[in-house]
Each structure stands twice: as C-alpha cells, then as structure tokens.
Amino acid sequence: MSISQPASVEDLLNFRLSRLLASSGSMVTLLCEGRYGVTRREWRLVCILSEHGATSPSALAEHAHLERARVSRHVADLVHKKLVVRVPVQGDRRRALLDLTERGRKLHSELFPESVRFNNLVLKALSPAELAAFDTALARLTEAAERISKSHALPEKADRRHGGSRRFAPAAGSELVRALGPDTACS
C-alpha cells in the first residue's frame, strides 16, 4: 500500500479512512443501536447538542457536516424518541432551536464515556509520539481538504432522488462522454 502513490482504490486516503471508520465505528454503532436505540448519526447530533446547547437546525447541520434535509429527518426521529425538543424562538413563531431533553442528556452521560473507551482502545495502537504526529497530520489534512473543496467546486451534483448515487450518468460535456460517445450510460 502506498498512500502517496495509489495504485488501487485500497491505497486512496478516503478508502483507508473509511475502512478505519467502519472498523472502529462498528463498536460504537452496535452499542448505540443495540443498547440505546439510536443510529450513529443520531448519536452525533446528540453529542453536538450536548456540547453546544440549544442550536438552530442549520447550525446543527453545519456542525455535523451533514445536509440540512438529512439532519431534519434525524431530528424528527430524535424528537419522536424524546431525546430532543424544539424550543420556540421568542418573537419569531416560525423558528425553533433544538435542545436535548433530560432523557437526551442522560443518554449522552451514559454513552459518551463508552465511546471514549472505544476511541482510546483503537488509539492504543500508537505511541504517544505517533499519536501527536497523527493528530497534527489529521488537522492539516482536514484543513487542506476543506480549502480544496471550497476552491474546486464542481458543477455536477448527484440527483439522489432519481438514483444519482446509484447510477453513473456523466455530464454531457465531460471528457468521458466525449471519449465514449453521448449515448453512453451505465445503469
């Protein structure tokens, strides 16, 4: 494997990070779903609300690095589970902030230490010096990715409502379409 000279998909940074997340996150996911009845994304939102307090849905989506529509669905589920409550904003009946209920705070106080324990079990694989270097490198990679993402916006967007995430349909002006011909489509 070579992260600097990828020869296959398994060498790509995102693939390797995804694999790490799948392996290390599975322990927390099983605990979340099996013992507490929440998904890992719902758990992420609970953690953010615990840390930031009452928050607007837009700010919650931004903190969670999720689309607002997806956050809205998860919030509806969290409200139904009585873990989150909508708090009306005085003077604006159209707006509400999201906050944890007492039940949501209890969930966080029980599950967060377990999440930390799993986190630390994985990190034990690194020496203190390696851990410090990894922390620094991860911060730099995140900053670079965010900067690149903002400066290299792509006009193409996945049309997920119509299978865009599952079908490959290159944009009409793309090099691939020019090379393969305009009638090329994969389904």
Residue 92 lies in a domain: yes
Per-residue pLDDT band at 113 (split at 50, 70, 90): very high
Would you say 60 and 76 are in contact if contact means Cβ atoms under 8 Å apart? Answer: no
Q: Is the pLDDT of residue 152 over 70?
A: yes
* Mean pLDDT over each residue of the chain, to the nearest integer: 86
Domain span at residue 170 reads 156-187
Residue 63 lies in a domain: yes
Q: Tens of pLDDT along 84-96?
A: 999 998 888 789 9
Residue 43 lies in a domain: yes
CATH number of the domain within which 20 lies? 1.10.10.10
The residues facing 99 across adjacent strands are 85
Would you say 32 and 111 are in contact if contact means Cβ atoms under 8 Å apart? Answer: yes
**How confident is the model at residue 186, as a pLDDT?**
43
Residue 28 lies in a domain: yes
Say if residue 114 is in the same domain as residue 47: yes
pTM recorded for the entire structure:
0.76
- Give the dihedral sign, CA 23/27/29/30: positive
